[in-house]
Structure 1
Amino acid sequence: MIKKILLGILIGLFVVAGAFVTYILLSWDKIYDVPYPDLQVTADSTVIARGKYLVHGPAHCSNCHVSSFADMVSADQGKVTPLKGGAPFPLGPLGTMYIPNLTPDSNTGTGRYTDGQLFRMMRHVVKPDGTAALSVLMPFWNMADEDLVAVVSYLRSMEPVENQVKKSEWSFMGKAIRVFASSFHPVENPTPPSYAPPMAATVERGEYLARYVANCVGCHTRRDPMTFEALSPEYSGGFEFEPFPEFHKYIGEDPELWARSPNITPHPNSALSKFKTVEEWKARFRQGRIIKISPMHWGPFSRMTDQDLEALYIYLNSLEPVENDVTETVFKK
């Protein structure tokens, strides 16, 4: 009798496990029916110039959408580097993403897609094929309409470069996380303004940049390494970045080094508190990259306007101080 009960339990477990696996395999690349934003690109040179500033500055698209380690370094240094994509973006046990080609090439780049598909990607985190991307990497859902138009208009104006990018590779764990974690689901009800706060040293401009353009809140918040859900107060640091051995070796650094984001709330022991004046803050950004393996996009941020750097400083200093000693920002486990 006991053997029959145990056998029944075992069979039940196999059935449940099989159903779970089947559900994951059928659902991980779900297609979402999300409408296209009612926005239009333009050939206006002023708008395109605004888009160029965002792409190569605070939105730092130019640091990620490259094809090689050499391009990563060049882009960070401010050299003109085609945004043709292809570079790997490892996500540990979840798999590896490959960065898309943003040039308007009609075979391998954004030239294959409509303006609506590109706007939807930025506004709702839904790719042209209808599947969802990782929202924490694309925090542009509440980017102002005028800035979204500027970015896409600039991308449309670039020289097309043919470069076939590999499809992202997801482990079973990665597929399961894509099914259940909200960070891999569309942003369905964004609340973007029509116009961005003016480029001036204000709290409003600083918050807009920190949340929806530069993504300071994404990296300077401790997150679950699997789901990327926040585990600590915003901007209090502690997000750990796994080593990228191949890239570390390329730049001559220890392939076992981890990085940890610092606390940038105005607590007396935070990284922000080291900058007693806005001039000191701006001077640090103008220096650019010092720590080679830092995940911070120092190159693009070093080229931000004085007004935008000042706005970030004012906004971060307006936050509630959070005590969180993240200890070393570069370390080994």
Structure 2
Amino acid sequence: MVKKIILGIVILLVVVIGGFVFYVQLNWNKIYEIPYPDLQVSTDSTVIERGKYLVHGPAHCSNCHVGSVAEMIAADAGENIPLKGGVPFNMGALGTMYPRNLTSDSETGIARYSDKEMFRMMRHVVKPDGTGTLIVLMPFWNMANEDLVAVVSYLRTMAPFNNEVPDNDWTFVGKAVRVLASSFQPISNPSPAPVSPPMEATIARGEYVSRYLANCVGCHTNRDPMTFEAIGPEYAGGMEFEPWPEFALAVGGDPETWMRTPNITPHPNSALSKFKTVEEWKARFRQGRLINISQMHWGPFSRMTDKDLEALYLYLTSLEPSDYDAGELMFKK
């Protein structure tokens, strides 16, 4: 009798595990039928210049969509690096992601895709092939229509660079997370405004920059390392970045040091509290990268306008202070 019970349990486990594996393999790269935004690119020079500012400034596309760690470092320092994609981002147990080629190359870049496919990618986090991607890396669903148009319009002007980027390499764990976690599901009902808040020192502009351009809330919120779902209060820090040895060694840092984002709410013990005035805040950003292995995109952020930096400061200082303890910001495990 006991043997029959044990055998039954084993058979049940095999069936459940096998069924789960089959379900994951069937759905990890699911195609989503998401409508295309009704937007059109522009050839207006003012619109294109606005897109250039966003791509190389607050939206920091220019730091990630490069071909190597060396190019990432150069882009952060302000060099005009082709956004040809391909630098490997190690996602730990999930696998490896490769940012796409954003140049206008017709074989390997975005010239392969229609404007509507580009707009859907940014608005709904759905790639041209209809599959989804990681929301926290592309937080542009509520980017105002005019800014979305500006970004795509600017990207269309970039010189072509032929560079075949590998497909993302997901482990089974990564595929399972893609199926189960909401952080990999499309944004079905975004609520963008037609125009963005004016580039003025206002709380509204600061919130817009922090949420839908610079993604401050994405990194300065503690997140589950597997699903990237928030597990801590917004802007209170705590998100961990495991060592990236190649990057650390390239900048002369310790390849075994982990980084953790700080609390940037207006709590007396937060990182934000160090800046007593907006002028001190702006001065820090103008300095750029000081901690060489920091995962923050100091280069693009250092090139933001005074008004956007002032707006960001006003918004962050308007938040409810959080006493959330993010822990040591640099540590080893």
TM-score, scaled relative to structure 1: 0.99
- Which amino acid in the other structure matches residue 17 of structure 2? A
Alpha-carbon offset, residue 117 of structure 1: 0.5
1:227 and 2:227 aligned: yes
Alpha-carbon offset, residue 331 of structure 1: 1.4
What is the correspondence of 1:43-122 to structure 2 with a 5 Å cutoff? 43-122=43-122
What is the correspondence of 1:1-333 to structure 2 with a 5 Å cutoff? 1-333=1-333
Do the aligned residues in 2 keep the contact of 1:281 with 1:313 (CA within 8 Å)? yes
Q: Give the match's secondary structure for 2:35.
A: coil
Alpha-carbon separation, structure 1, partners of 2:66 and 2:294? 17
Q: Give the match's secondary structure for 2:299.
A: helix
Alpha-carbon separation, structure 2, partners of 1:118 and 1:306? 30
Alpha-carbon separation, structure 2, partners of 1:76 and 1:246? 16
Alpha-carbon separation, structure 2, partners of 1:259 and 1:122? 28
Alpha-carbon separation, structure 2, partners of 1:313 and 1:3? 67
Post-superposition CA distance 1:13-51 (Å, at most 9, x none) = 111111110000111000000011000001100000000
Aligned length: 333
Alpha-carbon separation, structure 2, partners of 1:305 and 1:249? 31
Alpha-carbon separation, structure 1, partners of 2:93 and 2:12? 28
Alpha-carbon separation, structure 2, partners of 1:271 and 1:246? 28
Alpha-carbon separation, structure 2, partners of 1:245 and 1:332? 13
- Which amino acid in the other structure matches residue 52 of structure 2? K
Q: Give the match's secondary structure for 2:58.
A: coil
Q: Give the match's secondary structure for 2:224.
A: coil
Do the aligned residues in 2 keep the contact of 1:263 with 1:324 (CA within 8 Å)? yes
Post-superposition CA distance 1:34-76 (Å, at most 9, x none) = 0110000011000000000000000000000000111101100
Alpha-carbon offset, residue 5 of structure 1: 2.1
Sequence identity (%): 71
Alpha-carbon separation, structure 1, partners of 2:298 and 2:9? 56
Alpha-carbon separation, structure 2, partners of 1:264 and 1:24? 38
Do the aligned residues in 2 keep the contact of 1:270 with 1:324 (CA within 8 Å)? no
Alpha-carbon separation, structure 1, partners of 2:93 and 2:265? 31
TM-score, scaled relative to structure 2: 0.99
Alpha-carbon separation, structure 1, partners of 2:321 and 2:252? 37
- Which amino acid in the other structure matches residue 112 of structure 2? R
Alpha-carbon separation, structure 2, partners of 1:117 and 1:30? 17
Alpha-carbon offset, residue 247 of structure 1: 1.7
Alpha-carbon separation, structure 2, partners of 1:163 and 1:28? 26
Unaligned runs of 5+ in 2: none
Alpha-carbon separation, structure 2, partners of 1:104 and 1:196? 26
Alpha-carbon separation, structure 2, partners of 1:3 and 1:328? 52
**Displaced runs of 4 or more, over 3 A:** none
Alpha-carbon separation, structure 2, partners of 1:6 and 1:71? 57
Unaligned runs of 5+ in 1: none
Alpha-carbon offset, residue 7 of structure 1: 1.0
